[in-house]
Structure 1
C-alpha cells in the first residue's frame, strides 16, 4: 500500500509527525476495529470534507493553517479515513480526494488580500486571545445598531434551512446521525435483532432527533478569523463582558418569557456519530449540531416556546453596549 496524495504528506509535515507513515495510520486504525469499513465511498469522501473543514483556519495574514491545538482529535479521524481508503483500494491517490479537498479549500475557506486586511484590523482590537469573549459578525449596519442601541433580532431556528451560505445553512430542527456498522458491530447487532424481529443483518444505524421551532441568537466564543470569510463580514462586535451581556438580554426579554418561555445560553455540542453518544433528546437539539460545523465554536442564546411571538416582539433593544463591547469596522 502506498500514498501519492499530497494532502497526507502535507498533514504529516505540518503536524511534525517524524517517521510517521500511512502504514502507521493503518496500524492504529485497525486497533479501532476498522469502524469505517461499511461506510460507502461517497459517505467516506464527505466525512473527509467535514474533518478537513474543521482543521483549517486563516491566520492573521489570511494564510491557511491547521488548527493543531484546537482540534487534536480531528487529525486522528482524518488519518482513519485515509487508512480505510488504502485498505479498500491499495493506495491513497490524489484523484480520490481531489473534489473534497477543492471543496474544503476553495469554497468553505476563501483566503484573499481583502480578508487579510480585515483580519489585521480585527486582530488589532484583541489584546489577549485567552480572554473570555463573544464575537458576532455581520453587515456594518447591523453591527452599528448592536453596539449603539443593543439592537438585535432573534431569528427563528427554522429560517437557517433556507440560507444560501453553506457556512450557515442547516436544518436546526432536525439532526440525523448515521453510523455504518463495522463487520463485528453488524454481527453483534444481528444476533440481537434476529431474536427480536427476525432481521439477520443490519448495515447501519440511523438516529433522528426533531425539535419544535425556537428563537436563537448565534455568536462565537472562539477568535477564529475564518468567520470573516465565511460570513463576508463588514463589521464585528467584540463583547468583552459576556456575563453582563447575558444580564441585559435577560432583563430585556423578561416580558417575552411569560407563558413558559425560557431563555437559555451555552456552547453548542458538535456530534460525531462514531464518537459521541446517541443520547440526544428533543430538548437538547437547540444546543446540538453536526460535527461538520465544529470549527465555528458557537455560543447561543435560545428562547423556547416562542411560536406566538411576532417579528416586532423578536426585535430587541438592550441599550448601548459601548461599555462592554467594541465595534470593529471591517469595510
Structure 2
C-alpha cells in the first residue's frame, strides 16, 4: 500500500486546516482562479502555453491553485462543479502562437536573447521612436491609471490598496467594550494622502508583453543605471518639489497579507505579478491631488538602449 501523499493532496489538506477562501462569493472565487491562472502559465519559445516550473514561480502559484480547487470542491463537489461556463473570459492568459514561434522571441533573439538586468518599455513604435532618439518620455499622475478606457493590463487603482482580513483575526468592540461578532472578511483599505507621478517599465521579458500591452515595439534599456540617473536628474530640474525614486513593485495577495502597513506607492494586486513591473515615482513634498501629465527629454538613448519591433 502506497501511503505517500502527493503535493496536490498535501496542499489541499493544508487548505482545509486554514480555509481562507471560505467567505468569498462564487464570482470572487472564480476571479481569484483567473488571477492565479494568469500567473502560473507562460508562453514557451515554441508558442505553447506551459505551467511555470517549481523553481520559476510555480512553488508559489501552484499551491494557491490547489487551494481554489479545494474550496470549489468543498462547496460544489469535484472539479469542474461550481465553475460557470466561460468564467475565464477576459482573464490575462497568455496567447499561444504554436506552431509558429512567438514574434516576441524572434525579436529578442535578434539582439542576443533575454539577459538579466535590463529594463523594457512596451508600446507603439510611433511613441517609442522619439523616446529612443530624444529620450522623450510622458510621465502621468498615478490617478490616470484608473481611467476605465485603458487596456486591462494597464488599468489599476494606484492611489489605494485593499486587503481582506479573516473574521478570526478581527476583534471589534462596541462603546461599552463588549465584543461584536464578526461575519465574513473585513476589508481594510490603505489610501495615499497624495497623488504622485509614475512611469512604468518591465524588469523581465517573457514573450507575452506585446499582446498584454497591445504593443508593436519595445525599447530595451541595456544600462538601467545610466537611464535611471538621467531620468531622475532631469525630472528633478522640472519638478524640484517632488522626491523621485525607483523600485520593483510589491505584488500582494489581498487575502494573505500579514506584515501590517502597505506602501501604496509600490503595492499592486498579485493578479499583475506576471508584468514584473519596475517603476519610477515622484512624490510631492506636500500632498497634491490635482496633477497634470508632462513630458521630459533626457537626450539620445541609443548608446545604452535599442528598439525592437514585431
Task: Provide the TM-score with structure 1 as the length reference.
Answer: 0.81
**Secondary structure at 2:79's aligned position in 1?**
strand
Change (3 A) 1:171 1:287: same
d(CA) in 2 for partners of 1:100, 1:73: 23
Higher helix share: 1
- Show CA shifts across 1:169-206 (max 9, x none): 1111121222444xxx2xx645x647735412332121
| Cα separation, partners in 2 of 1:226 and 1:179, compared to 1, 3 Å | farther
Aligned to 1:256: 238
| Pair 116,19 (structure 1): closer, same or farther in 2 beyond 3 Å | farther
Residue 101 (1) aligns with residue 88 (2): yes
Cα distance in structure 2, aligned partners of 1:225 and 1:265: 24
Q: Which residue of structure 1 aligns with residue 280 of structure 2?
A: 301
**How many Å separate the matches in 2 of 1:38 and 1:309?**
39
Query: For residues 231-310 of structure 1, what are the structure 2 equivalents within 5 Å?
Result: 231-259=213-241, 261-277=242-258, 279-281=260-262, 284-305=263-284
Work out whether 1:91 is the aligned partner of 2:93. Answer: no
> What is residue 141 of structure 2 aligned with on the other side?
156
Question: Any stretches of 5+ residues in structure 2 without a counterpart?
Answer: none
SS at structure 2 position matched to 1:146? helix
Alignment of 1:1-331 (within 5 A): 20=6, 23-31=9-17, 33-68=18-53, 69-93=56-80, 96=83, 98-104=85-91, 108-112=93-97, 116-127=101-112, 129-162=114-147, 163-181=149-167, 185=168, 189=170, 193=173, 196-211=177-192, 212-259=194-241, 261-277=242-258, 279-281=260-262, 284-305=263-284, 311=293, 314-330=294-310
User: Partners of 1:24 and 1:82 in 2: how far apart?
Assistant: 13
Residues 324 and 24 of structure 1, relative CA distance in 2, 3 Å threshold: same
Aligned length: 299
- Contact kept, 8 Å, 1:111 with 1:229, in 2: the verdict is no
Secondary structure in 2 aligned to 1:285?
Answer: coil
Structure 2 length normalisation: TM-score? 0.86
CA contact (8 A) 2:48 2:98 kept: no
